């Protein structure tokens, strides 16, 4: 089985449609202890508006291809990406697990599909799912470190970009292509099926894909994890008109998910989240234009999202969240001026967030409007050295109803009297960001990158306007409408080798935050109302919701990431190789103490054998004990995740129809795995020993 391959598409030069000429490379083989680089570079389109390989960018980038997505069997982006160097997952529920990049999560990590945001409420709370199923992705790019200059304030910590063919950019060879896939997992009696069809005739190309998955409560080393079942399904259709120098197209996607929330109290109420989203998107790509601007890339999207938090015992809806968003982007590639290439762009977005029931107590109807302009320029100083410069200015307006609670013991905290909600507030912010990077080719195979950025982020709606209980997370959250902009100065030093038998990637990073916004566990508990918070024996305090206050303080993050893959020995029937990985991040508040919920040190290694048809591997991922904890945060024991996998690929006789069969075993030691960054870590274990069986066919 080949893990690096080239797709031969027409010579697109930039923009999202440049995905058509990408080298789709698996930067890491399985989903646990994996080495990120492989023996072929790949072009990355998300970090730069220019078509550039990973070796030509200073920002650390990880790419996950279709083969690895199939082998993972993951139902969420968090569970798919959570073992990559520098990436963790929130793992709140089977249907809700968001990626965490270098210790940063929620409103600091942007998740997008084909350049447009996910348009959900997953950043509002950890129990809320992302309405993007990994099985629909052709590839996923992870940018570690700030990517805000192209995509806005919510990418100050990193970017997860999902790419697929839902708006076709080409006609399939022979006018028809199809793919089907199915898998089953033993720990939860899980089942998944998906399929896609691409057809094309003349200038018209059509794409349709669909999936469905279901899973029962999963087993752990301590028994069945109650209330952990999940199911989801989705359907998407898109059509494009193909032009000699590009395409224009539209798509519509429907996503539905119904998943249970584990944990003692949630399980007692059989708490579940019923989520649905309808998403519309349009895109245009033009290249080889006359004049100063030689290329155009435009995207616009609208989504209508809602989810209900349901008690299956009572048959009642406790909360309902609604989110409507519009987003539009335009990028223009300009003609080279000497050795300088670049692109200019604008981005606009509007968001209406509302909730009723208990969700309405958490946050009143709120809005966010933003308008931004950005620029990216690259100067090729000489064949071995290039300088990349970029900048962004953004105008953000937020409106909502906040609270002005009294102060107790130096902590923003409602005490024995009701908080003063006051009137609705309208807040304006102007984040300004800039970056400079040097990329130096030490040899034909080895690249050194230095990336420096100053980025600013406006506070998010919940950080400003949270004001009450959230039963799903068992927290009572209090925002602060006086929060200011968050800013970060970030430095990345990277060394990469992406060709030959030995591939490696090493990154060192340091980020200094000013006015870092974080959730602080105050050490108090609340009932359903403000006047029960921090009051012993007050009516309703028996609910014991953990009080969370949004605070602001300077903070420093530093860490390192390493991954390597070595095809060591040529054998009669294939190649034997080794890989390894390591990541570490530490976050400290300048006022003293640690940033909450930071991923522990992790390392792993594996040995693999591969040829044109077979890939097999055994590996482990070790997470150390995390005892560098914040105030009122408990430490978490370490664990070892042992994995083994094998996939076999073959063609049907006298046919180009490719069939892939595979089996993947996870947590084979049946270890107690608790995710330190999860709010549910004390109540919820990850699945025990399990096996995934899958089949995939390309027709």
H/E stretch holding 265 = helix 264-268
Percent residues over pLDDT 90 in the chain: 64
Among 345-349, 399-403, 472-476, name the most confident range.
Answer: 345-349
* CA dihedral sign of residues 435, 440, 446, 450: negative
Token output for 280:
């519309």
Answer whether 57's CB lies under 8 Å from 494's CB.
Answer: no
Determine the Cα–Cα distance for residues 503 and 67; give it in Å rounded to an integer.
19
Q: What is the pLDDT of residues 629-657, one digit of tens each?
A: 988 889 999 999 999 999 999 998 877 88
127-133 mean pLDDT = 92
Question: Per-residue pLDDT averaged across 84-108, rounded?
Answer: 91
Model-level pTM?
0.89
In angstroms, what CA-CA distances link 264 with 96, 201, 584?
A: 17, 56, 31
DSSP assignment string, 278-323? EEEEEEEEE-S-SSSEEEEEEEEEEEEEEEEEEETTTTEEEEEEEE
DSSP H stretches of helix in 442-529? 461-465
| Mean pLDDT in residue range 301-317 | 90
Per-residue pLDDT at 8: 30
55 neighbors 605 (Cβ within 8 angstroms): no
**Tokens linked to 441:** 């080719």
What are the backbone dihedrals phi and psi of residue 243, each rounded to the nearest 5 degrees, phi first?
A: -110, 160
Q: How far apart are CA 200 and CA 223, in angstroms?
A: 51
Q: Is the pLDDT of residue 404 over 70?
A: no
pLDDT at 359 over 80: no
Instruction: Give pLDDT, residue 6.
Output: 29
In the CATH hierarchy, which top-level class contains the domain 4-698? Answer: mainly beta
Query: Which tokens belong to 458?
Result: 């406006």
pLDDT digits (tens, 9 = 90+) for 508-531: 999 999 999 988 888 888 887 777
Predicted confidence (pLDDT) at residue 13 exceeds the cutoff of 70? no
Q: Is the pLDDT of residue 477 over 90?
A: no
Q: What is the pLDDT of residues 35-89, one digit of tens each?
A: 433 334 456 667 678 877 777 777 888 889 988 998 888 999 999 999 999 999 9
Radius of gyration of the chain (CA): 24
Name the residue with higher pLDDT: 156 or 562.
562
Tens-place pLDDT, residues 105-124:
888 999 999 999 999 999 88
Please give the distance of CA 412 from its chain centroid, rounded to a whole number.
31
Predicted pLDDT at 41: 44
What 3-state class would DSSP assign to 346? Answer: strand
The token pair at 192 is: 């998944």
Range among 238-247, 435-444, 466-475 with highest mean pLDDT value: 238-247
Output the CA–CA distances (angstroms, integers) from residue 346 to 112, 187, 302, 370, in the order listed: 17, 47, 17, 11
Strands (E), 482-544: 486-497, 502-526
Tell me, what DSSP letter sits at residue 260? E
Domain locations in the chain as residue ranges: 4-698
* More reliable by pLDDT, 421 or 327: 327
- The beta strand positions in 358-483, using DSSP E, are 366-382, 385-400, 407-408, 411-412, 425-429, 432-441, 446-457, 467-470, 475-478
Taking residues 393-402, what's their average pLDDT?
A: 92
Mean pLDDT, rounded, of the chain? 86
d(Cα 586, Cα 86) in Å, to the nearest integer?
A: 11
Do the Cβ atoms of 94 and 75 come closer than 8 Å?
yes
Least confidently predicted of 127-131, 174-178, 193-197, 261-265: 261-265
Least confident of 116-120, 280-284, 328-332, 678-682: 678-682
pLDDT at 24 > cutoff 80: no
Tell me the range of 123-127, 151-155, 311-315, 680-684 where mean pLDDT is highest.
680-684
pLDDT at 383 over 80: yes
Name the 3-class secondary structure at 580. strand
* Measured distance between the N- and C-terminal CA atoms of the chain, rounded to whole angstroms: 18
Could you tell me the two tokens for 605? 């290694």
pLDDT, mean of residues 201-205: 93
**Burial label, 668 (beta-carbon count in 10 A; 0-12, 13-18, 19+):** middle
Q: What is the DSSP letter of 527?
A: -
Does the pLDDT value for residue 546 go beyond 70?
yes
Categorize the per-residue pLDDT at 537 as very low, low, confident or very high, splitting at 50, 70 and 90: low
């Amino acid at each position: 089985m080949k893990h690096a391959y080239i797709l031969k598409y027409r010579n697109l030069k930039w923009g999202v449609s440049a995905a058509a000429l990408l080298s789709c490379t698996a930067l890491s083989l399985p989903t646990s202890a994996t080495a990120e680089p492989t023996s072929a570079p790949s072009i990355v389109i998300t970090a730069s508006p220019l078509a550039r390989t990973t070796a030509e960018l200073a920002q650390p980038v990880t790419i996950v291809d279709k083969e690895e997505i199939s082998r993972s069997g993951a139902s969420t982006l968090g569970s798919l990406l959570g073992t990559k160097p520098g990436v963790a997952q929130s793992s709140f529920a089977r249907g809700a697990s968001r990626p965490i990049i270098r210790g940063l999560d929620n409103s600091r990590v942007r998740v997008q599909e084909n350049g447009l945001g996910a348009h959900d409420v997953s950043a509002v709370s950890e129990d809320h799912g992302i309405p993007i199923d990994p099985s629909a992705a052709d590839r996923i790019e992870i940018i570690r470190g700030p990517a805000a200059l192209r995509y806005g304030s919510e990418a100050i910590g990193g970017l997860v970009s999902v790419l697929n063919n839902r708006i076709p950019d080409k006609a399939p060879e022979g006018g028809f292509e199809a793919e089907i896939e199915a898998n089953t997992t033993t720990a939860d009696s899980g089942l998944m099926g998906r399929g896609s069809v691409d057809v094309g005739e003349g200038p018209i190309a059509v794409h349709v894909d669909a999936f469905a998955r279901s899973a029962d409560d999963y087993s752990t080393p301590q028994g069945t994890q109650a209330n952990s079942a999940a199911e989801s399904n989705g359907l998407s259709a898109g059509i494009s008109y193909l032009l000699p120098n590009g395409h224009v197209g539209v798509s519509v996607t429907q996503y539905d998910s119904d998943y249970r929330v584990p944990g003692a109290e949630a399980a007692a109420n059989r708490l579940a989240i019923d989520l649905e989203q309808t998403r519309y998107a349009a895109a245009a790509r033009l290249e080889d234009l006359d004049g100063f601007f030689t290329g155009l890339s435009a995207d616009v999207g609208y989504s209508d999202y809602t989810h209900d938090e349901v008690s299956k015992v009572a048959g009642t809806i406790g909360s309902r969240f609604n989110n409507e968003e519009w987003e539009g982007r335009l990028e223009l590639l300009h003609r080279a001026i000497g050795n300088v290439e670049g692109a200019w762009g604008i981005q606009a977005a509007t968001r209406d967030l509302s909730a009723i029931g208990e969700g309405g107590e958490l946050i009143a109807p709120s809005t966010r409007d933003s308008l931004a302009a950005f620029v990216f320029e690259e100067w090729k100083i000489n064949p071995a050295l290039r300088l990349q410069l970029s900048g962004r200015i953004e105008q953000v307006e937020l409106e909502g109803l906040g609270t002005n609670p009294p102060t107790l013991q130096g902590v923003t905290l409602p005490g024995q009297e009701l908080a003063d909600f006051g009137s609705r507030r309208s807040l304006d912010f102007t984040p300004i960001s800039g970056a400079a990077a040097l990329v130096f080719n030490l040899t034909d195979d080895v690249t050194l990158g230095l990336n420096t950025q100053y980025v600013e982020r406006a506070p998010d709606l919940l950080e400003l306007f949270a004001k009450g209980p959230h039963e799903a997370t068992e927290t009572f959250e209090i925002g602060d409408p006086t929060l200011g902009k968050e800013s970060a100065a970030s430095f990345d030093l990277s060394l990469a080798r992406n060709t030959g038998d030995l591939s490696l990637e090493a990154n060192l990073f340091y980020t200094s935050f000013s006015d870092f916004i974080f959730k602080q566990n105050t050490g108090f508990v609340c009932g359903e109302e403000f006047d029960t918070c921090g009051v012993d024996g007050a009516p309703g305090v028996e609910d014991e919701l953990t009080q969370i206050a949004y605070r602001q303080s300077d903070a420093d993050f530093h860490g390192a990431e390493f991954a390597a893959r070595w095809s060591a020995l040529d054998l009669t029937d294939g190649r034997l190789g080794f890989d390894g990985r390591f990541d570490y991040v530490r976050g400290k508040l300048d006022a003293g103490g640690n940033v909450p919920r930071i991923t522990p040190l992790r390392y792993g290694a594996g040995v693999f054998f591969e040829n044109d048809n077979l890939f097999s591997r055994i590996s482990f991922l070790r997470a150390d004990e995390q005892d560098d904890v914040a105030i009122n945060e408990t430490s978490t024991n370490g664990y070892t995740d042992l994995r083994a996998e094998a996939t076999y690929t073959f063609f049907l006789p006298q046919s180009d129809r490719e069939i892939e069969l595979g089996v993947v075993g996870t947590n084979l030691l049946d270890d107690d795995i608790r995710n330190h960054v999860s709010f549910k870590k004390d109540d919820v274990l990850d699945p025990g020993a399990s096996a995934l069986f899958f089949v995939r066919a390309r027709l």
